[in-house]
């Protein structure tokens, strides 16, 4: 059994050997890719070699390998060309590699560099550089060895794995598992192209560059992508300025346009003429094609000197004799090469439009009349060219003169005199008018504004809130508020239910802040619960009798022999002046009862008359108070809650008179066979008040004679289609 010191010395030797191997292994910097193998997990449960012997030849009592001394396991890979049947021997065509000692009989390396980074053999990775185009298919001989320096320098074989497969270049790993007689193994493989190699075989080379040899970057497939301003297969051709002539121009940097010899212009589309060419052009470099009326080698000879220079004066006729030469045929009275010497010039009256002609040594001169100019006074003088009009004025030409249109505040022929606007009473409502240079100033009376004091100074501006409309009145400004607002400035918002809108105890319910609904009490209907239910429809009275509406009920006009609310009770029959023995009254009792009923009727009549008089007086006082309150107040039209009272303002009828009914006197004698019919007391109509008053109407009838002011208040409410009141 090895001692601990010996084992430590052994591990140091193995490390030195591994480092030496890495040092002497050639590094191919021209590789196009890398074949990578990574050991994930291996397990040799009994610590055996391929021969069945223990790794360290140590056995326990049961002939099993000792658990104290395990195998020193490492891996060696040999990469070959694809073979249908892998030969375990032979040269490693594509290369080889090995790991260091990874552990004992069993080891999991998923925590050591499992992401594939690094090339250190101690983490279970084997990297074989590949310097040819990757063929995708390959064969692999992977040997699992026990490192034992005492027996062999190459290690003893534990397991041998033979694999033929195919890998596409990429970052993804392909996992393999091997379950051998001695050892179970899990490993994975991949092939990655070098950073500058692309394609399915890593044979496409592309490296970003920006120099003389190209200006491009590489996309993930290895295709060259030219930088902005460059083009061509190798991105070496600069993109010239837009419009640069493709044949006559070129560029070495993007955006340039350099011209080839013989061409000029910003876009190299202009040919260069022959040096010294004066009046000529070209279609090809170094030409000198003369313009019309020009000739000579350099196109500097005038073939039409007369037409070009017009040398003959005073109506002389010019003739071209040869290039750059001419001859003038002068009019009578003129001489010289150019006919510029006058002989008695004024004899021909050359001055026009009333001008005076004066002769001199060589010619003549014309003294023009007013409004004319020119050598012979044939040109009209434009007076407005001298800007004769004052500041801001417009000048108009008139025959022989001009006219100035002055700005307000100026006057005079040339608009340079200040106009006195105050003479025209231009200030309407002002204390005084003050004339200024080029203007005026009005001193307005109180309540007026504007440059002419003709605008009423309204204090309404910005006064009313919430969309209120302001009106100027003699008493001052007043705000007319929209529905839902009140106050002097329409600053107060109103809830539609604030003003007892619903009548006869109806409950007001607000919806969406804009509409209200009245839930009416029993016996009433209508939008505002202003209509009493018609208790006579259908007619409750029997026998087809007429039904009359009272204040809170109804009454039937019963025929003889019937009584009660619905005329369903039948009276006891009477024969002559005597009744049957069942409860009859004597004649004396009948007259006593009649007198008592008449007395009660008179008292009731007096009471009713007193009530009518009181109602008339109260109504008169109420109307007088309303007339006194009719004067407009500042908030009178904004916060009117009395509109509900207009609906309630229905004159109610006088309560019906009590009807006399038969009474039984407590002290009546023994009933006799005589009865009396029921006495109904009819009262005269109530006296009409002295002033005109509306006739009495049923309680449910709406008021008809309302004033315009009341109608205006009612119109402020609008009914919607679903019988909701919009406010």
Closest CA to 342 of 360, 366, 317, 367: 360
Where exactly does CATH 2.10.25.10 map onto the chain? 534-571
pLDDT digits (tens, 9 = 90+) for 535-555: 787 787 876 778 877 766 778
Where exactly does CATH 2.60.40.3510 map onto the chain? 4-205
Among 60-64, 264-268, 372-376, 616-620, the least confident range: 60-64
Q: Say whether pLDDT at 594 is over 60.
A: yes
In the block, residue with structure tokens 């025959």:
399
Among 113-117, 500-504, 582-586, the least confident range: 582-586
Residues in CB range of 456: below 8 A, 6 or more apart: 447, 448, 449, 472
Closest CA to 173 of 41, 35, 74: 35
How many helices and strands, by DSSP H and E, does the chain display?
5, 54
Mean pLDDT of 294-306: 86
Q: Say whether pLDDT at 416 is over 70.
A: yes
User: Kind and range of the H or E element at 620?
Assistant: helix 587-628
Predicted local confidence at residue 612, as pLDDT: 93
E-assigned strands of 272-363? 280-281, 289-290, 294-295, 301-302, 317-322, 325-329, 334-335, 341-342, 356-359
Distance, CA of 594 to CA of 574 (rounded, Å):
18
SS3 486: strand
Provide CATH code, domain 4-205.
2.60.40.3510
Mean pLDDT of 13-24: 42
Predicted local confidence at residue 258, as pLDDT: 93
Among 122-126, 428-432, 590-594, the least confident range: 590-594
Predicted local confidence at residue 151, as pLDDT: 52
Predicted local confidence at residue 498, as pLDDT: 65
Predicted local confidence at residue 702, as pLDDT: 46
Cis peptide before 538 (omega within 30 of 0): yes
CATH fold of the domain at 534-571? Laminin (2.10.25)
Among 205-219, 488-502, 631-645, the least confident range: 631-645
Residues in CB range of 227: below 8 A, 6 or more apart: 210, 215, 216, 217, 235
Predicted local confidence at residue 681, as pLDDT: 33
Among 202-211, 468-477, 691-700, the least confident range: 691-700
Q: Is residue 433 within 8 Å of residue 404, measured between CB atoms?
A: no
Closest CA to 269 of 259, 254, 281: 259
pTM above 0.75, yes or no: no
Among 40-44, 58-62, 247-251, the least confident range: 58-62
Of the pLDDT bands very low, low, confident and very high (cuts 50, 70, 90), residue 573 is low
Predicted local confidence at residue 623, as pLDDT: 85
Residue 138: CA count within 13 A, CB half-sphere: 28
Of the pLDDT bands very low, low, confident and very high (cuts 50, 70, 90), residue 688 is very low
Maximum Cα interatomic distance, the chain, rounded to a whole number of Å: 175
* Average pLDDT for the chain: 75
Predicted local confidence at residue 174, as pLDDT: 94
Percent above pLDDT 90 for the chain? 21
């Amino acid at each position: 059994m090895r001692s601990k010191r010996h084992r430590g010395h052994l591990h140091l030797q193995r490390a030195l050997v591994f480092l030496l191997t890495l040092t002497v292994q050639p590094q191919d910097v021209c590789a196009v890719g890398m074949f990578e193998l990574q050991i994930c997990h291996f397990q040799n449960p009994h610590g055996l070699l391929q021969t069945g012997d223990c790794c360290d030849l140590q056995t326990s009592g049961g002939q099993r390998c000792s658990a104290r001394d395990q195998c020193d396991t490492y891996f060696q890979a040999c990469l070959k060309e694809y073979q249908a049947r892998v030969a375990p021997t032979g040269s490693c065509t594509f290369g080889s590699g090995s790991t260091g000692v990874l552990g004992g009989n069993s080891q999991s390396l998923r925590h050591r560099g499992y992401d594939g980074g690094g090339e250190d053999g101690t983490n279970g990775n084997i990297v074989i550089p590949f310097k040819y185009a990757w063929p995708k298919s390959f064969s692999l001989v992977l040997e699992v060895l026990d490192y034992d320096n005492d027996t062999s320098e190459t290690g003893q074989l534990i397991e041998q794995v033979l694999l033929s497969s195919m890998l596409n270049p990429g970052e993804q790993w392909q996992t393999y598992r091997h379950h051998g007689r001695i050892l179970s193994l899990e490993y994975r493989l991949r092939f990655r192209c070098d950073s500058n190699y692309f394609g399915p075989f890593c044979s496409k080379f592309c490296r970003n560059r920006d120099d003389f040899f190209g200006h491009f970057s590489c996309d993930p497939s290895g295709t060259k992508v030219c930088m902005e301003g460059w083009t061509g297969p190798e991105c070496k051709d600069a993109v010239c300025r837009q419009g640069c002539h493709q044949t006559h121009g070129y560029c070495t940097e993007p955006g340039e346009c350099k011209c080839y010899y013989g061409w000029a212009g910003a876009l190299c589309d202009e040919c260069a003429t022959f040096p010294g060419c004066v009046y000529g052009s070209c279609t090809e470099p170094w030409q000198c094609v003369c313009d019309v009326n020009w000739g000579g080698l350099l196109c500097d000879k005038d073939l039409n000197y007369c037409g070009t220079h017009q040398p003959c004066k005073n109506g002389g006729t010019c003739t071209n004799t040869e290039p750059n030469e001419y001859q003038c045929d002068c009019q009578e009275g003129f001489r010289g090469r150019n006919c510029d010497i006058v002989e008695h010039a004024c004899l021909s009256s050359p001055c026009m439009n009333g001008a005076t002609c004066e002769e001199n040594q060589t010619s003549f001169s014309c003294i023009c009349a007013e409004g004319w100019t020119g050598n012979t006074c044939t040109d009209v003088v434009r007076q407005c060219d001298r800007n004769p009009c004052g500041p801001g004025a417009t000048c108009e030409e008139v025959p022989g003169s001009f006219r100035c249109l002055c700005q307000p505040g100026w006057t005079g022929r040339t608009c340079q005199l200040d106009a006195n606007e105050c003479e025209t009473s231009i200030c309407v409502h002002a204390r005084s008018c003050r004339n200024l240079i080029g203007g005026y100033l009005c001193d307005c009376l109180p309540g007026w504004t504007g440059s002419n004091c003709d605008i009423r100074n309204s204090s309404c501006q910005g006064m009313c809130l919430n969309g209120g409309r302001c009106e100027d009145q003699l008493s001052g400004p007043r705000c007319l508020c929209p529905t839902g607002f009140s106050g002097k400035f329409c600053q107060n918002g109103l809830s539609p239910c604030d003003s007892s809108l619903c009548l006869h105890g109806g409950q007001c319910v607000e919806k969406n802040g804009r509409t209200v609904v009245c839930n009416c009490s029993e016996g009433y209907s209508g939008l505002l619960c202003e209509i009493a239910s018609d208790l006579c429809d259908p007619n409750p009275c029997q026998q087809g009798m007429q039904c009359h509406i009272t204040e809170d009920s109804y009454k039937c006009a019963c025929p003889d022999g019937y009584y009660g609310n619905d005329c369903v009770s039948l009276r006891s029959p009477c024969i002559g002046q005597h009744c049957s023995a069942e409860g009859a009254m004597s004649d004396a009792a009948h007259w006593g009862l009649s007198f008592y009923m008449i007395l009660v009727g008179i008292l009731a009549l007096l009471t009713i008359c007193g009530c009518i008089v009181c109602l008339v007086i109260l109504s008169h006082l109420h109307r007088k108070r309303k007339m006194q309150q009719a004067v407009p107040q500042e908030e009178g039209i904004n916060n009117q809650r009395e509109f509900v009272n207009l609906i309630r303002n229905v004159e109610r009828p006088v309560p019906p008179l009590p009807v006399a009914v038969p009474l039984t006197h407590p002290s009546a004698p023994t009933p006799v066979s005589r009865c009396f019919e029921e006495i109904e007391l009819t009262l005269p109509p109530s006296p009409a008040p002295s002033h005109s008053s509306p006739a009495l109407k049923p309680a449910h009838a709406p008021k008809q004679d309302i004033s315009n002011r009341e109608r205006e208040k009612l119109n402020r409410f609008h009914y919607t289609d679903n019988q909701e009141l919009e406010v």
